[in-house]
Amino acid sequence: MPRNPLDDVDWDAVKRYKKLVLIVPLFILIAVGALTSYYIVQPEEEAVIKRFGLVVAQKEPGLHFKLPFGIDTAQMVPTARVLKQEFGFRTQGIDGRTSYRKDSMHRDESLMLTGDLKVIDVEWVVQYRVSNPDKFLHQVRDPEQTLRDVSESVMRRIVGNSLGSDVLTEKRVQVANLSRAELQKAMEYFDLGIQISTIELQDVTPPEPVKPAFNEVNQAEQERERFINEAEKRRNQVIPRAEGEARQVIAEAQGYAAKRVNAAKGEADRFTAVYEAYLDAPDVTRQRMYLEMIDKVLPQAGRIFIMDENQTAPLPLLNLGDSPVTVPANR
Amino acid sequence: MNKNPIFSTFVLLLLIIVGVVLRASIYTLDQAEQAVIVQLGAPVGDPVTKPGLHFKLPFIQEVRRFDKRVISWDGDPNQIPTRGEQFISVDTTARWRISDPLIFMQRVQNERGATMRLNDILDSVVRDKISATDLVEIVRSKDWKISEADLARVQLSGEDDEEILLQEVKTGRQELVKSIYTQAASQMPEMGIELIDIRIKRIDYVEAVEQRVFDRMIAERQRIAEQFRSEGEGRAAEIDGDTRRELSEIQSEANRQAEIIRGQADAEASSIYSQAFGAAPEFYAFLRTLESYPKTVQDTSTLILGTDSEYFRYLRDVSVQKTMDQ
């Protein structure tokens, strides 16, 4: 006789535990229901509430209730947080000291062509915020990747429409502003629910192999300044001294002039004075002056010969020198 | 309360069956999803695009779900020659969406199939368009213009390729991308796909060309450096020259002024003398001659005087009164 499997059941035990068998699942049911009927939205977040997959509400930060058992689901999106994407490098270490990493993959991101068909290495950061969490979640499958792709494309278009030397220097801000505007427009086109806060250009440099040549230009520029400065220095060493010397020459000439004129005046005055005295008694004065001169001259002379008209040989008056002196006898 | 175990079991089974049937005839669709209902292999009705709770026939109908959102397509970088025969590497990216899930399901089955078809179509369109376009048209945009001032400034900083700089842009990047989009988008509806956007993500020179461009840039920089250096030397020489000129000017000017001052002084002195001496020329000659003797006669001089000279007159004869008075 085949055994009825139900005969083996300890029906007494079933009766005994009947209550428990009903209560435990019920309790679990209530617990699960309670746990899935509320959610907390953090201050920087917004919640998107979906009922059977259909978006029914967006909630602000705080405690909220919903239908349990997965009928309603809540998805939190950090709308208040400013998010960041880096191009051409990656920041490492969130807190404390940060370091920047750049390898060949990142270099591919940042190397681009300029309008003058050169190559330039532009690193930049896009800061953005989720402005519409519903759209952010449901409009595009991978919004971050879309943002990356579009941002790269936009930056390359703008840089490709500028001169490389401008992007390196004065047009940095302009490039950032233009690409921000264009990126924002693209975000609106995709209806991504993303608001672009800023685009900031980081390091904008010539490509690695060209850098030494660029540095050489900077050095040469400084060298040029140095050359010029040195020449100015030489100039400053010479010119003020020459100016001083010029003033000296002029002053000396003025001194000479004063001396010369004064001497002339003195001499003239003396002459006039002597002449006036002379006019009082011309003959005597003349005689006296002549003799005074002789007084001075004769003692000075080395030898003096006094000749008589009638004699033929010179007549030595004072000491006769060793060497014979021949003097013409007659005039 | 009926305690018949058979009855209890039956109720339990019934509940389970109802549950299973209900589960098989209800389905939810997420906000990001759309679906096609397939009944024994054949699609039934319009595709379901509205998210939420939906019903279907249990067991014989199944739900094929598709993404409703915009999906990214990323092409591999392609090496393409431009019209000017320059090889560049072009990396494109596109966004697309399943616009008609029914046709999509029939033609390409799933996203994998769609991606493969997109690879074929987009790569070929991009290749066609790029190879028919000059590099400047791909890199620059239509509003590219370079003013005289820009050109002068750039040339000052050593750019030599004026020809490239001035090359006019007829279509430009945006127009090029637009035409790529138009051509590619026209092939999409037959796959139930809508092409939202296609973009050139990156353009790079291929390695060999890149090296040449780098060499050109290096040569250009070195030329600028040389220019700076020689400019510096030139300016220095100019300043040195100026310095020397200024020096000569200062010195000669000083000398000139000094000469003038001396000359004027001499002239003044001369006029003073002539005024004074002109009053008594004979006396001046006498006085001046007397003054000159002590200067000219020195101890090396030998004086020979006649006894009949004025001075020795008295040496011979004291009574010369007569003579003198004559």
Q: Tell me, what's the pLDDT at B50? A: 86
DSSP 8-state secondary structure symbol assigned to residue B70: B
Could you tell me which residue, A277 or B317, shows the higher pLDDT? A277
Question: Facing residues of A130 across strands?
Answer: A194
The span from the CA of B159 to the CA of B147, in Å, is: 15
CA angle, A215 then A220 then A225, to 5°: 130
Asked if the C-beta of A235 comes within 8 angstroms of chain B's C-beta atoms, the answer is yes
Is the Cβ of B292 closer than 8 Å to some Cβ of chain A? no
pLDDT (tens digit per residue) in A254-311: 999 999 999 999 988 988 888 888 888 888 888 888 888 888 888 887 777 777 666 5
Q: What pLDDT, on the 0 to 100 scale, is given for residue A331? A: 35
Residues 66-125 of A with CB under 8 A from B: 108, 111-119
Q: A88, A48 in Cβ contact below 8 A?
A: no
Q: What is the pLDDT of residue B325?
A: 45
pLDDT confidence tier of residue A231, bands split at 50, 70 and 90: very high
Nearest chain B alpha carbon to A288: B290
Q: For residue A315, which phi and psi values (nearest 5 degrees)?
A: -110, 105
* Of the candidate ranges A214-223, A225-234, B240-249, B287-296, the one whose mean pLDDT is the lowest: B287-296
Residue B266 is predicted with a pLDDT of 92
Interface test with B, best of A15, A144, A151, A163 (most B CBs within 10 A): A163
Burial class (CB in 10 A: 0-12, 13-18, 19+), A281: exposed
Which residue, among B235, B248, B255, has the nearest Cα to A239 in the 3D structure?
B248
pLDDT tens string B151-183: 776 666 555 566 677 777 788 888 899 999 999
Residue of A10, A14, A54, A323 for testing the chain B interface, max B β-carbons within 10 Å: A54
Chain B residue closest to A305 (CA)? B304
Q: What is the pLDDT of residue A229?
A: 93
| Global confidence as pTM | 0.70
Nearest to B253 by CA among A228, A243, A288: A243
Average of per-residue pLDDT across A153-165: 89
Instruction: Give the ipTM of the model, two decimals please.
Output: 0.72
Least CB–CB distance from B257: residue in A111, A119, A250:
A250
pLDDT number for residue A180: 92
For A99, list phi and psi in degrees, rounded to 5: -130, 160
Distance CA B311, CA B306 (A): 9
Question: Which tops the pLDDT comparison, B238 or B143?
Answer: B238
The answer, yes or no, to whether residue A80 has pLDDT greater than 60, is yes
Could you give the strand order of the β-sheet that contains B302-306, starting from the edge strand earlier in sequence?
A: A315-316, A303-307, B302-306
Per-residue model confidence (pLDDT) at position B238 = 92
Asked whether the beta carbons of A74 and A39 are under 8 A apart, the reply is yes
- CA-closest candidate to residue B180, choices B210, B218, B138: B138
pLDDT at residue A327, as a whole number: 44
User: Residues 58 to 87 of B: which have CB under 8 A from any A CB?
Assistant: 67-72, 74
B203 in contact with A, Cβ within 8 Å: yes
Q: Provide mean pLDDT across the span A314-327.
A: 47
Tell me the pLDDT band of B220, cut-offs 50, 70 and 90. confident
DSSP secondary structure string for all residues of A205-231: E--GGGHHHHHHHHHHHHHHHHHHHHH
pLDDT interval class at A5 (50, 70, 90): low
Q: For the residues B319-324, what does the mean pLDDT come to?
A: 50
Cβ-contact A321, A303 below 8 angstroms? yes
pLDDT of amino acid B154: 66
Work out the average pLDDT over B125-141. 88
pLDDT for res A329: 41
How confident is the prediction for chain B on average, in pLDDT?
Answer: 84
